[in-house]
Amino acid sequence: MSAGTTATASARARVLWRSPEARRLAAWVFGGLVLALMTGPSGSQAAPVAGFTGSLFHPRVLVFVALGVALWALSFVRARYGERVRETSVHLTRLPARLVRTRRARYGVYLVVLVFAVVYPPTLSGFWQEVLVDQIGVFVLLAIGLNVVVGYAGLLDLGYIAFYAIGAYSGAYWTGALPVHPPFHLNPFFVIPFAIAAAMVAGVILGAPTLRLRGDYLAIVTLGFGEIIQIAATNLQGVTGGAEGVTGVPHFSVHALGVHYAWTLSNLPYYYLLLGFVVLVLFGFRALEDSRVGRAFTAVREDEVAAEAVGINVLKYKVMAFAIGASTSGFAGLLEVSKIGFVTSQDFTVQLSILVLVLVIFGGMGSLPGAVAGAAFLQWVPQILRQHPLFGYQPQDLYIYLGALLVVMMIFRPEGMLPSRRRKRELALAEQGIGTADAMSGSADPAAGVAP
Amino acid sequence: MTGLADASVLAPPVGDPIVAVAHVTLRFGGVTSLADVSLQQERGEVLAVIGPNGAGKTSLFNCLTGVYTPQEGTIEFRPEGKSAVSVVGRRPSRVNRLGIARTFQASRLFNALTAFENVRVGVESRLHTGPAGAMLLLPRTRRENRRSRDRSEELLAFVGLTDRADELASALPYGDQRKLEIARALATGPELLLLDEPAAGTNLAEKDALQDVIHRVNTEMGVSVLLIEHDMRLVMAAAHRVAVLNFGRLIAMGTPAVVQHDEAVIEAYLGRTDAGTAPEGGADEAAGPEEGT
């Protein structure tokens, strides 16, 4: 072992370190270590470094490092052979892709999914039926509502759950469950227009002044709004029941034309009610997307200055998108509060707003099938993994994993699971240097091309 | 010909103006972008605005379309058969609804939409379907959909882009993008069309095609055209009259032939031999905020 060989060895190491692949590998491994550390056991006063040793000197760290290396290898292969893989896959999927693109085939797929959604749930256990209603059904509705705001109009709304809260409290108020009493008590079915209207009015009141702001500022204001609603709901104990909440919100029931039926705590009937509403909303939003209003949303998202120049009142359409999203959220709030029968201010956390945003981004911004699939998938898989002996996780770590998932997705598939055609085009264009892939409006230079 | 033109130089034309700009001054901080500009455009006229870079041409457009609000002066628009309305202080979408449409110096198409959809957005800004009507697919929505589809096809045919209807706006060749921008502006049914350097960056064949489109917009559709252009061949062929701006001031106005021989114009473009007496505001030119692009 002479000094010369160590010198060349260190020189070789330096050369290796300079190669982008090595740095990328280091970054992936580092990411894995951070994830292991963040989700591992925490230290205590008696053993302050127990968190580190427990995370980094425990076999579980290997899982995370292996994941990092695997993803590095995937990105390496993609960078090297991505073009060829893409060409072959385009070649192989040309026929199915063309089939799916025909309207009849697409409706065929939707029909199969719908039939499956009707027939399959009765065979599930009670636990999974509950997941289906409380975790999946409600969040699918929330995601397709937020998709209008974020996906169509390109507005970043971080206080979305506030409208869910407003819908929930409307439900509790009009059915007489809150400490303050309404002039008359209503069946939840008749509360629907009230809940939607309340959330929509709140959306307009918040939106009209703040939607003049661009991108980041709007996100901050909506974040603040979400906090205000939750804190107000906690502190106004005499009105909302505060953090302890109120119980006794009645279930949906039908008493008309000789039909008497009441929903109960049991999940399956609520699932079908929710499914019906979701399908209705989906039909509505599908028509909206391919309409004058939907195209105007896209125009506003793409280029506000040009949209104004062709006579589109940008502010009006932004408020409209915001209000449509808000009312969907309020509707979901009413359904959930009536199903579980009680409401507490503790439910409306900012994490929930972010979760819905993650569902939309994961599914594919601006795409209805994406929002549905993203919400269903991301709400379902953690429930499976939670109990799993190998992949089991602590519930409080869920958001860390979701964050990591989003980071990975932004690298490999930034357009989301089932992207919309328009969004896919935008990203493809951005790669060619045309326009901006940033879906949030306001990031594009507003003056470009206006000033000489 | 020359005698007639002589009379019109810098003299306000009498007749039926579609837009009247009077004493407009636009400042950005200490920079004066437009200084006491007054001009009128006759109904049915193709008026070109020329001038060196930084002369205030696009600033004038931005004042006319509500993007900028001038500090002083008035801009009146007179839609056919209606009383005059002031443009100043209205937001761009309102101005567009009055009947003034524009294109941009650098194309600002909706890149992720197809050519057809781009035009359709313009057509649909005049229709009335709201979100509820759209979601419920009411009869009126269907009627309007048919109408907007037909009108968009007509307009694409008008500018000669029928074959490219389903292509992405950004995938079109540059000349076609310029034509598409004109079609989108026409889709809003304007009486006055503002074209900001439509021929910039196009080749000779594309320039000829553009000239033809401008001519037909003017004659077949009866739309008045206000045109900013650097290509003198196009200006001379397309415009009835030419207004010349320099350092934010109107220095000449008249038929193309007259303006071409105007001494102030020649001086503005070529400079003067006895240097040192640069016009007021000369130092501002480089610092002006309108120099952004």
3-state helix/strand/coil string of chain A = CCHHHHHHHHHHHHHHHHCHHHHHHHHHHHHHHHHHHHHCCCCCCCCCCHHHHHHHCCCHHHHHHHHHHHHHHHHHHHHHHHHHHHHHHHHHCHHHHHHHHCHHHHHHHHHHHHHHHHHCHHHCCHHHHHHHHHHHHHHHHHHHHHHHHHHHCCCCCCCCHHHHHHHHHHHHHHCCCCCCCCCCCCCHHHHHHHHHHHHHHHHHHHHHHHCCCCHHHHHHHHHHHHHHHHHHHHHCHHHHCCCCCECCCCCCEEEECCEEEECCCCHHHHHHHHHHHHHHHHHHHHHHHCCHHHHHHHHHHHCHHHHHHCCCCHHHHHHHHHHHHHHHHHHHHHHHHHHHCCECHHHCCHHHHHHHHHHHHHHCCCCHHHHHHHHHHHHHHHHHHHHCCCCCCCHHHHHHHHHHHHHHHHHHCCCCCCCCHHHHHHHHHHHCCCCCCCCCCCCCCCCCCCCC
Beta carbons of A299 and B108 less than 8 Å apart = no
pLDDT of A96: 65
Beta carbons of B54 and A452 less than 8 Å apart = yes
Q: Which of A332-341, B46-55, B121-130, B275-284 has the lowest mean pLDDT?
A: B275-284
A452, HSE (Cβ side, Cα atoms, 13 Å): 29
Give tens-digit pLDDT for A84-126: 777 776 666 666 666 666 777 778 888 998 998 888 888 888 8
**pLDDT at position B281 over 70:** no
Using CB atoms, which residue from A302, A305, A313 is nearest to B111? A302
pLDDT of A100: 65
Interface of B with A in 33-72 (CB under 8 A): 53-54, 57-59, 62, 65, 67
Task: Match 């370190």 to its residue by tokens.
Answer: A17
pLDDT of A164: 95
CB B170 within 8 A of CB B111: yes
Q: CB under 8 Å to A383, separation ≥6 — which residues?
A: A128, A131, A135
Beta carbons of A429 and B290 less than 8 Å apart = no
Beta carbons of A308 and B93 less than 8 Å apart = yes
CA distance linking residue A173 with residue A179, whole number of Å: 8
Region A172-198: what's the mean pLDDT? 87
CB A229 within 8 A of CB A239: no
DSSP B56: S
User: Parallel, antiparallel, or unpaired: how do β-strands B85-86 and B72-77 relate?
Assistant: antiparallel
In a mutational test of the B interface, the residue from A289, A310, A331, A415 whose CB has the highest number of chain B CBs within 10 Å is A310
Hey, is B234 helix, strand or coil?
A: helix
Nearest CA in chain A to B186: A310
Give tens-digit pLDDT for A200-212: 999 999 988 888 8
CB A343 within 8 A of CB A246: yes
Q: What percent of chain A has pLDDT over 90?
A: 31
Using CB atoms, which residue from B53, B96, B145 is nearest to A310? B96
Between B280 and B83, the more confident residue is B83
CA distance linking residue A161 with residue A330, whole number of Å: 9
Q: CB under 8 Å to A7, separation ≥6 — which residues?
A: none
Strand-pairing partners, residue B22, are B74
CA distance linking residue B48 with residue B239, whole number of Å: 6
Please list every residue in chain B whose beta carbon sits closer than 8 Å to the beta carbon of residue A318. none
Region A408-432: what's the mean pLDDT? 77
Go through the domains of chain B in sequence order and give each one's CATH number: 2-99+192-291 (3.40.50.300), 108-189 (3.40.50.300)
pLDDT of B68: 92
A400, HSE (Cβ side, Cα atoms, 13 Å): 15
Q: Would you state the structure tokens that stand for residue A342, as one six-digit string?
A: 């009680």
Q: Which of A281-285, A296-300, A387-391 has the lowest mean pLDDT?
A: A387-391
Taking 3-state DSSP, the helix, strand and coil percentages for chain B, each rounded to the nearest 5, stand at 40, 20, 35
pLDDT of A408: 87
In chain A, what are the domain boundaries? 7-92, 124-351
Using CB atoms, which residue from A306, A311, A425 is nearest to B108? A306
Q: Would you state the structure tokens that stand for residue A168, as one six-digit string?
A: 């929930």
Q: Which of A41-45, A172-176, B265-269 has the lowest mean pLDDT?
A: A41-45
Region B100-123: what's the mean pLDDT? 92
Task: Match 């049914």 to its residue by tokens.
Answer: B189
pLDDT of A446: 44
Give tens-digit pLDDT for B139-151: 888 999 999 999 9
pLDDT of A437: 53
pLDDT of A445: 44
Vertex A430 angle, CA B113 and B67, to 5°: 65
Give tens-digit pLDDT for A219-255: 899 999 999 999 999 998 888 888 888 888 888 877 7
Q: What is the mean pLDDT of chain A?
A: 83
Region A361-370: what's the mean pLDDT? 90
Using CB atoms, which residue from A291, A426, A447 is nearest to B292? A447
Using CB atoms, which residue from A295, A313, A449 is nearest to B108? A449
CA distance linking residue A195 with residue A204, whole number of Å: 14
Q: Would you state the structure tokens that stand for residue A223, as one six-digit string?
A: 């974040």
pLDDT of A101: 67
DSSP B110: -
Region B164-168: what's the mean pLDDT? 90
Distances (CA, A) of A200 to A29, A120, A339, B285: 46, 34, 22, 49
**pLDDT at position A288 over 80:** yes
pLDDT of A4: 64
**pLDDT at position A48 over 80:** no
**pLDDT at position A258 over 80:** no
Instruction: Characterize A173-202 residue by residue with b for buried, 16 or more Cβ atoms within 10 angstroms of its Cβ, and e for exposed.
Output: bbbebbeeebeeebbbeebbebbbebbbeb
Please list every residue in chain B whose beta carbon sits closer than 8 Å to the beta carbon of residue A425. 111-112, 168
B188–chain A nearest CA distance, Å: 6
Task: Report which residue type is found at A177.
Answer: A
Q: Where are the alpha helices (DSSP H) in B192-277?
A: 204-219, 232-238, 256-260, 263-270
Region of residue A223 (left: phi > 0; alpha: psi -120 to 50; beta: else): alpha
CA distance linking residue A326 with residue A148, whole number of Å: 10
Phi, psi (rounded to 5 degrees) for A362: -65, -45
Give tens-digit pLDDT for A368-387: 999 999 999 998 888 888 87
Q: Would you state the structure tokens that stand for residue B152, as one six-digit string?
A: 């968009």
**pLDDT at position B275 over 90:** no
B180–chain A nearest CA distance, Å: 13
A5–chain B nearest CA distance, Å: 57
**pLDDT at position A345 over 50:** yes
Q: Is the ipTM of this complex over 0.95?
A: no
Using CB atoms, which residue from A288, A302, A434 is nearest to B134? A288
Q: Which of A233-237, A420-424, B205-209 has the lowest mean pLDDT?
A: A420-424
CA distance linking residue B44 with residue A389, whole number of Å: 79
Q: CB under 8 Å to B224, separation ≥6 — which residues?
A: B18, B19, B41, B42, B43, B44, B45, B46, B47, B191, B192, B193, B218
Region B84-110: what's the mean pLDDT? 91
Please list every residue in chain B whose beta carbon sits closer than 8 Å to the beta carbon of residue A426. 111-112
Give tens-digit pLDDT for B14-46: 578 899 999 999 999 888 999 999 999 999 999
Hey, is B146 helix, strand or coil?
A: helix
Beta carbons of B136 and A287 less than 8 Å apart = yes
Does any CB of chain A come closer than 8 Å to the CB of residue B104?
yes
CB B118 within 8 A of CB A422: no
**pLDDT at position B288 over 70:** no
